[in-house]
A and B are shown apart, each in its own frame.
Chain A
Amino acid sequence: MALRVIVVGGGQVGADLASLLTADGHRVTAIEVRDDVARLLRRDLPDGAVISGNGTDPTVLEAAGIREADVVAAVTGADETNLVVTSLARFEFHVPYTIARVNNPKNAWIFGPTMGVDVALNQADLMAHLVQESLPVKSAMRGGRPETDPWPDPRG
């Protein structure tokens, strides 16, 4: 099923996300406030898929078709921007599913239902989980000794 997706923030994360989803056949509209970044984005995305403007502006969101969107992904480099976007998406435009990027892990606690966030993507948190998941694998690679201290004392 093709989803209608709005990506707010066309930096590296947003550009890749928009390209991947477009390649998978979804209808993606990207919103980017910086003119030079928006220009780069237009090279990679279909005609009309990039809107120049501030994603916290309700009129810009409406121009991007937020009233019909299935998913909104707020992935700018500013947490407050992402939170305003998800709040508007959920409480004003009743978007069924929202994803937000957490830039500063200290702000992660705000990325919840109060601000209209369904899923918060916190890189530090994600990596911490990945590191922990790697522990048994790493032990196995070293000869199947799961008891091995994963953080050996460098002095020993």
Chain B
Amino acid sequence: MKILIIGCGRLGAGLAQALSLRSHQVTIIDRDATAFDRLLPSFAGQQLDGAGFDRGLLLRAGIDRADGLAAVTGSDEVNAVVARVAREVFKVPRVVARLDDPRKAEIYRRLGLQTIAPVTWGISRIADLLCYTPLAPVISLGTGEVDIVEAEATPLLIGRMVADVTLPGEIHVVAITRRGSTLLPTMGTVFQIGDQLHLAVLGISMERLNVLLGAA
């Protein structure tokens, strides 16, 4: 894929490196040429210095044929504008914008942009790790509001049904792994010994899940 990255801070440089390693065609833009010092010598992509809004620069970077763009500068407003321009003017199929100030999430939401909030995500993840839970998070969705977690069926659950641990809008059993194969359960599926549960949980409902599983 051809990918443009706007902003060569720690996040932008790391992202460029990671995508370059996966053999994607990466172009990274920053208005400060010294920012490129963050890139490792192994970085094979293109580096361009200039303002992220500069039309000539964006065209030189190939925005009109890019498959994806990440707007990850330190300014939420710059990221919002670049992301919107990429999507609306240049029709870039996949656009992600970094959001630092959670109070500005509303701007992005209202402008219909997909966002990643590294700090917000980090806070919720660190808080989770510090407040130990026996549930193993597999993946975080969105900006960390929803986790997919795995849990062994606890003795409390054996013989009970999926409906018993479902809280609509908070906790859903998305899959069960049983004797080596994984199935999508119904509300009436009964838990058996050795079941591995895969659950989608709202971050704030983690404690309630612990209670439901009898693990708290």
Using a CB–CB distance below 8 Å, which chain A residues touch chain B? 56-59, 78-81, 83-84, 87-88, 91-92, 104, 106-107, 109-110, 114-115
Q: Is there an interface contact between B104 and A57, defined as CB atoms closer than 8 Å? A: yes
Q: Are B107 and A58 in contact (CB under 8 A)?
A: yes
Q: Are A80 and B104 in contact (CB under 8 A)?
A: no
Q: Is the CB of A56 within 8 A of B54?
A: no
Q: Whole-angstrom distance between the alpha carbons of A83 and B103 in the complex?
A: 18
Instruction: Tell whether A91 pairs with B111 under 8 Å between CB atoms, given A80-B81, A110-B81.
Output: yes
Size of chain B's interface in residues, with CB distance under 8 A? Answer: 19
User: How many A-B Cβ pairs are below 8 Å?
Assistant: 60
Determine if B51 and A104 form an interchain contact, defined as CB atoms under 8 angstroms apart.
yes
Q: Which residues of A contact B85 (CB under 8 A)?
A: 110, 114-115
Where chain B touches its partner, the secondary structure class is: helix
Chain B positions near chain A (C-beta within 8 angstroms): 51, 53-55, 75, 77-78, 80-81, 84-85, 88-89, 103-104, 106-107, 110-111
Complex interface: chain B residues within 8 A of A109 (CB): 55
Query: In whole angstroms, what is the CA distance A59 to B105 when docked?
Result: 12
Closest to B103 in A: A57
B80 touches A84 (CB 8 A): yes
Known: A106-B54, A107-B51. A80 touches B75 (CB 8 A): yes
Q: Which of B75, B80, B106, B107 has the most CB of A within 10 A?
A: B107
Residue pair B110, A92 in contact (C-beta under 8 Å)? yes
Contacts A106-B51, A109-B55, A114-B88 known; A56 to B81 CB distance under 8 Å?
no
Q: How far is the CA of A92 from the CA of B111 in the complex (A)?
A: 8
Listed residue (B53, B55, B78, B104) with the most chain A CB atoms within 10 angstroms of its CB: B53
State whether A84 touches B81 (Cβ < 8 A).
yes
7 interchain pairs (CB within 8 A)? A56-B77, A58-B107, A59-B106, A84-B111, A91-B111, A92-B110, A92-B111
Is A88 a contact of B111 with CB atoms below 8 Å? yes
Residue from B80, B89, B103, B110 in contact with A80 in the complex, judged by beta carbons closer than 8 Å:
B80
In the bound complex, what is the Cα–Cα distance between A79 and B55 (angstroms)? 14
Given contacts A58-B110, A106-B54, 16 further A-B contacts (CB under 8 A): A59-B106, A79-B81, A80-B53, A80-B81, A83-B77, A84-B77, A88-B111, A92-B110, A92-B111, A104-B53, A106-B55, A109-B55, A114-B84, A114-B85, A115-B81, A115-B85
